[in-house]
């Protein structure tokens, strides 16, 4: 049994590399990895970060009796990392281009994780792809490519700039996020996405929109436990020299929800 002083244990979904480059020396073996900024962001608030691996069905190692539910039982919260596109087939569509086919294997793995955590009433936080997957899990759909499908939209990704691309978002009034960020003015965030929410999932609230094109940039579930997603990259904000939105309050409410769940509703 954990003592009240035991640090929170936050699970981070793994990024999957199905064909590793030859120069890494793994001879084509798939890799599972963690982007360190996400882990360090969690650890900077006193929590322990654990990457949750997945075993694919075609590996020689068997999963035995370890399931997503077992991980959810042992951890206090789940953070879904960014990364590869969500496969359009996961939300009932076909890829408009082969390069937008996404990662169906990762979709199945992360959907199992987030459903296990939600079923146990534990908080879930989705970043970029993670927010998009949350929307799909609640029955929503995605725009496969902003530039092609939304003419006139602003720039949301630039491969040459990567995490130096900043655009503004507006926090929606009368939503849970308005209690976290007390600002009626547009605020700058780091943007690295070419896909976005199209049809909002059932039971989700649009909590922020990009400015001025109005794309959904944050979602919150209308549920007793905290389920939240942001399209921007808060884990990259602390290292920025130019001003961007301080997302510390966002991480703090996630940690508070995890701590309250651990202690039966008491923070």
Q: Catalogue the active-site residues.
A: 128, 233, 235
Sheet holding 48-52, edge to edge: 48-52, 9-13, 77-80, 124-127, 227-230, 216-221, 204-211, 166-171, 187-190
Q: Which two tokens stand for residue 115?
A: 């459903």
HEC string of 101-154 equals CCCHHHHHHHHHHHHHHHHCCCCEEEECHHHHHHHHHCCCCEECCHHHHCCCCC
Q: Name the strand (E) or helix (H) holding 189.
A: strand 187-190
Q: Which residues lie closer than 8 Å to 71 by C-beta, 6 or more apart?
A: 11, 52, 113, 116
Closest CA to 52 of 28, 29, 75, 36: 75
Rounded to an integer, what distance in angstroms lies between the CA atom of residue 86 and that of residue 95? 10
Rounded to an integer, what distance in angstroms lies between the CA atom of residue 2 and that of residue 221? 29
User: Helix 104-119 vs helix 129-137: angle between axes, to the nearest 10 degrees?
Assistant: 70
The gap between the terminal CA atoms of the chain, to the nearest Å, is 17
265 alpha carbon, distance to own chain's centre: 24
């Amino acid at each position: 049994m954990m003592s009240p002083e035991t640090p929170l244990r936050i699970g981070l979904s793994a990024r999957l590399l199905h064909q590793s480059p030859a120069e890494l020396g793994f001879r084509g073996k798939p890799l599972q990895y963690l982007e360190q900024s996400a882990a360090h962001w969690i650890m900077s608030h006193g929590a322990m970060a654990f990457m949750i691996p997945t075993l694919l069905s075609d590996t020689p190692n068997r999963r035995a009796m370890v399931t997503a539910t077992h991980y959810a039982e042992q951890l206090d919260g789940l953070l879904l990392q960014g990364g590869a596109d969500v496969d359009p087939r996961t939300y009932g569509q076909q890829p408009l281009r082969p390069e937008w086919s996404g990662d169906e294997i990762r979709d199945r793995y992360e959907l199992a994780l987030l459903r296990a955590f939600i079923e146990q009433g534990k908080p879930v936080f989705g970043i970029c792809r993670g927010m998009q997957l949350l929307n799909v899990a609640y029955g929503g759909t995605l725009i496969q490519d902003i530039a092609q499908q939304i003419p006139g939209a602003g720039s949301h990704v630039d491969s040459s700039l990567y995490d130096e691309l900043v655009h503004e978002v507006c926090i929606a009034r009368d939503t849970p996020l308005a209690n976290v960020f007390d600002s009626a003015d547009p605020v700058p965030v780091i943007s690295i996405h070419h896909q976005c929410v199209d049809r909002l999932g059932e039971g989700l609230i649009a909590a922020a929109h990009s400015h001025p094109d109005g794309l959904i940039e944050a979602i919150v579930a209308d549920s007793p436990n905290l389920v939240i997603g942001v399209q921007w990259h808060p884990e990259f904000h602390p290292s920025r020299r130019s001003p961007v939105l301080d997302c510390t309050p966002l991480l703090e409410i996630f940690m508070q929800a995890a701590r309250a769940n651990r202690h039966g509703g008491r923070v």
